[in-house]
Amino acid sequence: MPAAGLAAARPLHCCAMSAPDEPSPQGDCAPTQPSTRADPGDGQPELMDPAPLRDGRFVDAGRVGEGGMGVVDAAYDRLLGRTVALKAIRPSLVDKKGVRPAFLAEARLMAELEHPAIVPVYDVGLREDGPPCCAMKLIRGRTLADRIGEAHRERTIPLETYASLLGAILKVCEALAFAHSKGVFHCDVKPANVIVGEYGEVYLLDWGVAQRAGVPPRKGVGTFAYMSPEQALGTGVDARSDVFGVGATIYELLADHAPYPARSSEEAIAMAEECRITPPECPDAPPGLADLCLKALAKDPGDRYQSADELRAELEAFLLGTRHHEVARFPAGGLICREGESADCAYVVVSGECEVYRERDGIEHPLRRIGPGGTFGEIAVFTGSPRTASVRASTEVVVQVVKRSAFDASAGLNSWVFDFVRTLADRFVARDDEVLTLRSEQASAEIAVRALAALASHGTAEGTPYSALCASLAAGSPRSAADVAAVLERRDELAIDAAADRIAVRREP
């Protein structure tokens, strides 16, 4: 395949490396010591040294990336017939002490971490000119940093964009959880080390400063602007240090800059040691995201999410809108919500049964019964109007309470869906109103018919005692005598003299 054709397929990205003990201007620090995986005492065979690659196997297709320690070229693999990323040590650093072992250690570590969000390593060997190189998957996509920057160039960030970028961060959490299960901590999680591919695939890059569990801590390992306090102080890292890195990535999504916006590496490391972070200002962000971010960025590791998987679950719940729902219990007969009240939450029935009803003319009109898995109260939240019905527990009931903020976060992330649901809720309320109006008119007509029948049977030309008739019609019904009187007073065919306590059929003039 011609090199020019391959080079035209950019933008392409792959892992970058930093030279040992030489921070880059961005504050990247050195890779860790070579992997202890080669120790025969761990039950594995002793690792081999890399052998020369077959002459002519890889055809150079142009430079696609550079780091402090390495360069990355696209290359066509003539043995397997595919284009790969070929990473090699910079010629100027080939003979520097510690560079070759660190290069090989990173390649072996990445080969060990077989996960969909970690770039797979295909081969390691020596190039024709001597330095070691590593063949791996060529990633086509853009960094999360680029996508965040692009989003912030808009006047406001659509909630759909937040959902998409948070979805990528969710996959980073999955990759970290896998690495942590192998005793490996990335130690340099940041938006520039995350690639989002052309088809939604996500890769966490640059494992050059990763540390293994049990290895003596080193001070200042990572990127200063995103670094946890324990990394800055050299007190030791664990899974919670990478949780901090994910929090720093979310921070940049919210604020469009790193948690420590310092002018120099020295200032950034000082801020990292003290964890001096200003809460992000993000008025258009989904409610609750800043709180989630700041918990991940807590100075004390014990105050953060305790694992990448816990943070992943929290992010997933945030995207689904199911975070932190309270649980409430109601006894049989207990009123859960009342018609006409303002609404700040909806409910999901966990157990038990409820009755939904509305009142008209003092009469309760049952609408429906709701059992486990059923929901109610959402109409008032969607429409912003008072509650349209009352709900009473028929049996002992346990409900999950969904606050308005959860609706704003989850429904807002799919705003067009929210618009449809709100329209549907309005139509549902209108339908209930029509049904209740018909029921009320029917009940009023029945009272009027009974009153006319009583007047025809027992009344005189002067009429019948009004109060006695109202009491008679109310007996055995859910209406009071006053309710009956209110219905009769609206009937044109009846003549009522309340002062004289008389009611009669109105005579035609």
Residues with active-site annotation: 188
Q: Count the residues in the chain.
A: 509
Question: Which candidate, 329, 256, 246, 315, places its Cα nearest to that of 286?
Answer: 315
The amino acid that residue 30 corresponds to is A
Helix (H) or strand (E) segment spanning residue 341: none
- Rounded Cα gap, residues 51 and 124, in angstroms: 8
- Rounded Cα gap, residues 345 and 83, in angstroms: 54
- The CA-based angle 355-437-361, given to 5 degrees, is 70
- Rounded Cα gap, residues 363 and 487, in angstroms: 12
- Rounded Cα gap, residues 121 and 85, in angstroms: 9
User: Which residue do the tokens 């964890």 mark?
Assistant: 275
Rounded to the nearest angstrom, the gap between the alpha carbon of residue 361 and the centroid of all alpha carbons in its chain is 45
Six token digits for residue 429: 């309320």
Query: Could you tell me which residues are beta bridge partners of residue 60?
Result: 75
Six token digits for residue 225: 């602007």
DSSP letter for 395, please: S
Question: Which candidate, 331, 420, 439, 347, places its Cα nearest to that of 387?
Answer: 347
Query: Could you tell me which residues are beta bridge partners of residue 194?
Result: 204
Start-end of H helices in 66-141? 99-112
User: Which residue do the tokens 């209740």 mark?
Assistant: 436
Q: What is the CA radius of gyration of the chain?
A: 35
Evaluate whether 179 touches 203 at the Cβ level (below 8 Å): no
**Dihedral of CA 59/61/62/66: which sign?**
negative
Burial (CB < 10 A; 0-12, 13-18, 19+), residue 267, is middle
Question: Which candidate, 203, 250, 238, 241, places its Cα nearest to that of 223?
Answer: 241
Name the phi and psi angles at 147, rounded to 5. -70, -35
